[in-house]
Amino acid sequence: MALDQLDRSILRVLQRSGRVSNAELAEKVGLSQSACHRRVQRLEAEGYIRDYVALLNARKMQFATTVFVEIGLSGQADELLEAFETAVSRVPEVLECHLMAGTADYLLKVVAESSEDFARIHRQSLARLPGVQRMQSSFALRTVFKTTALPV
């Protein structure tokens, strides 16, 4: 089903404040509480709303270092890609993994406590992933802005 303006308004509010009560949400988007609740349930059932999460402060959690890692694999066979993807999903410091077009096969977003901690993650986890032939790491100096909100 296509999204209308009310659906988009609901999604905008929920992206910024996932803990908003149904009563507050209904008021913000101009619906009755029951109509708002039905729409949210439909958006969840249709997969527009995937999950509700708490976004943690990485610095407070002692993950002050963000590293983007380009990975080149030794081959492109489906079995190798699947083995790599399964293994990398088990590395807790890897927040994102993207299959890429271009010079790198994968791009990872990794968090670490420090550059020394990243060296440990690199040595003990990333270098041991199936099929890894080359890696190039880029350290983020400062996060200018970061959002999880999609433009709806």
Q: List the CATH code of the domain at 65-139.
A: 3.30.70.920
- The number of CA neighbours under 13 Å toward the Cβ of 55 is 9
How high is the pLDDT of residue 1?
77
130 near 83, Cβ under 8 Å?
yes
Q: Which of 71, 91, 93 is nearest to 80 (CA)?
A: 71
Burial label, 23 (beta-carbon count in 10 A; 0-12, 13-18, 19+): exposed
The answer to whether domain 5-45 and domain 65-139 are alike in fold is no
Please state the domain extents for the chain.
Answer: 5-45, 65-139
Residue type, 145: F
CATH of range 5-45; options 3.40.50.1000, 3.40.50.300, 3.30.1780.10, 1.10.10.10: 1.10.10.10
Instruction: Give the span between the Cα atoms of 116 and 137, in whole angstroms.
Output: 13
Regions of the chain short of the pLDDT cut 50? none
Residue 143 phi, psi dihedral angles, 5° rounding:
-85, 115
Q: Please name the residue that has the structure tokens 């709806």.
A: 152
Instruction: Give the span between the Cα atoms of 25 and 18, in whole angstroms.
Output: 10
39 near 77, Cβ under 8 Å?
no
What confidence tens digit (pLDDT) does each residue in 47-56 have? Answer: 999 999 999 9
